[in-house]
Amino acid sequence: MTRQPIVARRAEELLGVAVAATAPVAGGDVATATRIRTATGLVALMKTRPHAPSGFFESEATGLRWLAEATAAGGVAVPELLGAAEDCVILRWIEPGRPTTDAAAAFGRELAATHAAGAPGFGWDHDGFIASLPLPHRPLPTWAEFYAARRVLPYLRLARERGAITAGQQVVIERLVARLPDLVPEEPPARVHGDLWNGNVLWGHDGRTYVIDPAAHGGHREVDLAMLSLFGLPHLARVLAAYQEAAPLAPGFEERVPLHQIHPLLVHACLFGGGYGARAADCAVRYL
């Protein structure tokens, strides 16, 4: 590890201890990640982003704290938040390990406990972000209303504006939105991660599984499980089986997985284009 003076000085301001070395960490698409080691031996991850939108890192820090409240009651672990400011967050470093079936089963049970910790309602008291896009959180009375107005329709419009979805595909998804109250089982608001794809699940060397980069809010617990299924997760079947044992899902969960994948697919359509818009429409047409 060498020492990047600008990053090191900012970390020292927040941590109150000298930084001995820094090293870049690969993989960050939205923020720049740097591994830091302090003079006291603490190893941490610092995330920075030039000209970050107002509230960008504060939203992440708030989500981590909220999820950490559930950890104490058996919920899924999050890295310890060591510092947060307008321009960065600093988290305790999680040494990577290998995914195992035992860790996967524990993760399933812990995720169920996090969801069971609940939320005041569907939404959050301030808006957030998903990747680099704003994420509206203003509460609505039911999940069907919230999913339509805060998750599907804003990104459907943006995807259409960016040419990532056709007019015909837009019509298909809008028709699906009208049917949501008949398709989604009513449940109390769950404490959801909100962006739980494979890249936001860390298998620690200590045998624990951690989640990072939340878009946390009060939502339907099926959204986290559908997101895990979208891009694949090691030992996913074991995770889902353990989750079901701890907190059985409403009948027909498997048939609703594509329904709750429409939102992340539209987010990807907005960010990357490609075939994500068509995939979202393909998910929607199953329910028409």
Residues with a catalytic annotation lie at 195
Phi and psi dihedrals of 23, rounded to 5?
Answer: -155, 140
DSSP calls for the chain: -B--HHHHHHHHHHHSS-EEEEEEETT-SSSEEEEEEETTS-EEEEEE-TTPPTTHHHHHHHHHHHHHHHHTTT--B-PPEEEEETTEEEEE---B----HHHHHHHHHHHHHHHHT--SSBB-SS-EEETTEEE----BSSHHHHIIIIIIHHHHHHHHHTTSS-HHHHHHHHHHHHHHHHHSPP-PPEEE-S---GGGEEEBTTS-EEE-S---EEE-THHHHHHHHHS--TTHHHHHHHHHHHSPPPTTHHHHHHHHHHHHHHHHHHHH-TTHHHHHHHHHHTT-
